[in-house]
Amino acid sequence: MVGKFITTDTPIHDATLNVLAHLPTASLDAVVDDGVWAKLADADFMRIATLLAQKSYDEGGCPIGGLIIDNLSRKIIGKGHNTLVQEDHPYNHGETSAIRDAGRADFSRCTIFTTLSPCDVCAALIYMRQFSRVVVGDITNAVGNEDMLRDKGVMVDILEDTHTIALYKKYRTEKPELDLEDWKGKAAL
Amino acid sequence: MVGKFITTDTPIHDATLNVLAHLPTASLDAVVDDGVWAKLADADFMRIATLLAQKSYDEGGCPIGGLIIDNLSRKIIGKGHNTLVQEDHPYNHGETSAIRDAGRADFSRCTIFTTLSPCDVCAALIYMRQFSRVVVGDITNAVGNEDMLRDKGVMVDILEDTHTIALYKKYRTEKPELDLEDWKGKAAL
């Protein structure tokens, strides 16, 4: 039997989290010990989402990442990043990308992490799919649907992440037309 | 040069429209004369969307279809159907499917046809992507976001299609759990 590359003894730093970001979700079990997931804090999952945003930025795309964990096991069941440019895709945002990756799961037992405050489409998807909780990594560059989501019964936590905020700010300065095309400023602003 | 199979002389009946439903969007130019598009009425496009819904039903999926035309040329630029079952996809509805198929287009010059009244997610996507018009084929089996879309500046036309209404009603009776999973009754009801 092949041993797991990432075990409970592996230090959790950026290089480790970057492996989790780049591995296909279906391959995580082959590489990561089950015990690792409980060691990861919300900030670690947000960091993985930010590393996915960085991957998208490096590909010339919009730097927004998303990630979904099971609340009980804290295992990643879906993740992804915006693919407006990469897939010529008009609405594959961080959240839609992660939800597509997860497939037909029971999201009422899940938390979704998004590096940027959800747009109207993603916010509607989060409550329609009945997520129990959303963690937002940046309400500096966009904001607006947090109270609506709370009204719909979704727990909303803000975890302002300085790296993800700085990355989005840089990208918006470099490619303002992409930022506008991507979500048309529609975050209930 | 290969001649076009469907020309302005081809009678527009179900068999013709079914070819348009099943052909990949990118292949339409190779098969259809440009002059054909202007001959198609809204009811014909809704019929194509219904034939896409029928295709999904025949595959064991949710019978909801979507289709996008350019307002000026009336050419189809995107189409598709719900793939909850076929792609294990939590939000690939008729509209999201057609918009994914169209890619990064300027939807402010486009009309989207949907066989069923749009859910909250698809309605948000329709106004965020700034569609000029939406044509709804069934407000009998679902209804709710029409006024909100009008408030957002989208023209909304209702074209109750007896075939599409009957197809959805049959499916809902046969597979109520799929109907509920697909959109959780979230159409601003």
Spatial strand order of the sheet with A133-136 comes to A76-81, A65-70, A110-114, A133-136, A155-158
Place B187 in a pLDDT band, splitting at 50, 70 and 90.
low
pLDDT at position A187 is 59
> Which positions 135-174 of B are in contact with A (Cβ < 8 Å)?
none
User: Mean pLDDT across the stretch A161-177?
Assistant: 96
Predicted TM-score of the model (pTM): 0.95
Question: Does A175 contact chain B (CB < 8 Å)?
Answer: no
> For the segment A76-133, what is each residue's pLDDT rounded down to a tens digit?
999 999 999 999 999 999 999 999 999 999 999 999 999 999 999 999 999 999 999 9
pLDDT of B184 higher than 50? yes
Place B186 in a pLDDT band, splitting at 50, 70 and 90.
low
> What are the DSSP calls for A149-174, one per residue?
HHHTT-EEEE---HHHHHHHHHHHHH
pLDDT at position A82 is 97
Q: What are the chain A neighbours of B184 within 8 Å (beta carbons)?
A: 128-130
Query: What ipTM was predicted for this assembly?
Result: 0.93
Question: Does B22 contact chain A (CB < 8 Å)?
Answer: no
pLDDT at position A186 is 66
Q: Which residue of B has its CA nearest to A98?
A: B90
The Cβ of residue B157 has, within 10 Å, a number of other Cβ atoms equal to 13
> For the segment A26-62, what is each residue's pLDDT rounded down to a tens digit?
999 999 999 999 999 999 999 999 999 999 999 999 9
pLDDT at position B173 is 95
Whether B81 and B71 have beta carbons less than 8 Å apart is answered as no
> Which positions 32-91 of A are in contact with B (Cβ < 8 Å)?
84, 88-91
What the block records as the tokens of A133 is 């909780």
Percent of chain B with pLDDT over 70: 97
The alpha carbon of residue B5 is apart from the nearest alpha carbon of chain A, in Å, by: 30
The residues facing B156 across adjacent strands are B134
Q: What are the chain A neighbours of B177 within 8 Å (beta carbons)?
A: none
